[in-house]
Amino acid sequence: MTAQTPGARAWDTDRTIVRFPDPAIEIVDERFRALVVEHEVVDRLWTGGRWLEGPVWFGDGRYLLFSDIPNDRMMCWSEVTGQVTVFRQPSNNSNGNTRDLQGRLVTCEHLTRRVTRTEHDGTITVLMDSFEGKPLNAPNDVVVHPDGSVWFTDPGWGIEGNYEGDKAVKEIPRYVFRIDPGTGTGVPVITGMDRPNGLCFSPGESRLYVVDVGHIRVFDMDGGTPVNGRVFVEMSPGQSDGIRTDRDGNLWSAAGLGGAGFDGVHCYSPDGDLLGRIHLPETCANFCFGGAKKNRLFITASRSLYSVFTEAQGTQHP
Residues that bind Mg ion (CB under 5 A): 140-141, 197, 241
Q: Pick the closer one to Mg ion by CB: 22 or 164.
A: 164
Nearer to Mg ion, 141 or 154 (CB): 141
Least Å distance, CB 157 to Mg ion, is 8
The DSSP line for 206-244 is: SEEEEEETTEEEEEEEETTEEEEEEEEEE-TTSEEEEEE
Q: Which is nearer to Mg ion, 31 or 170 (CB)?
A: 170
The residue among 6, 24, 16, 105 whose CA lies nearest residue 60 is 105
Q: How far is the CB of 241 from Mg ion (least distance, A)?
A: 4
Min separation Cβ 154 and Mg ion, Å: 11
**Shortest Cβ 141–Mg ion spacing (Å):** 4
Beta bridge partners of 64: 57, 77
Q: Which is nearer to Mg ion, 109 or 241 (CB)?
A: 241
Contact 24/16 with Cβ under 8 angstroms? Answer: no
Dist CA 252 CA 269 (whole Å): 9
**Residues shown for the chain:** 318
Is the CB of 107 or the CB of 295 nearer to Mg ion?
A: 107
Distances (CA, A) of 215 to 116, 207, 229, 253: 28, 16, 12, 10
CB closer to Mg ion out of 140 and 202: 140
The total of other beta-carbon atoms located within 10 Å of residue 289's CB is 24
> Which lies closer to Mg ion via its Cβ, residue 31 or residue 195?
195
Cα separation, 52 vs 158, whole angstroms: 14
Closest to 291 (Cα-Cα) out of 61, 10, 81: 61
Are 266 and 256 within 8 A, CB to CB? no
Closest separation between CB of residue 198 and Mg ion, Å? 5
Residue 99 has a CB neighbour count (10 Å cut-off) of 21
> Closest approach of Cβ 162 to Mg ion, in Å?
19
Least distance in Å: CB of 164 to Mg ion? Answer: 11
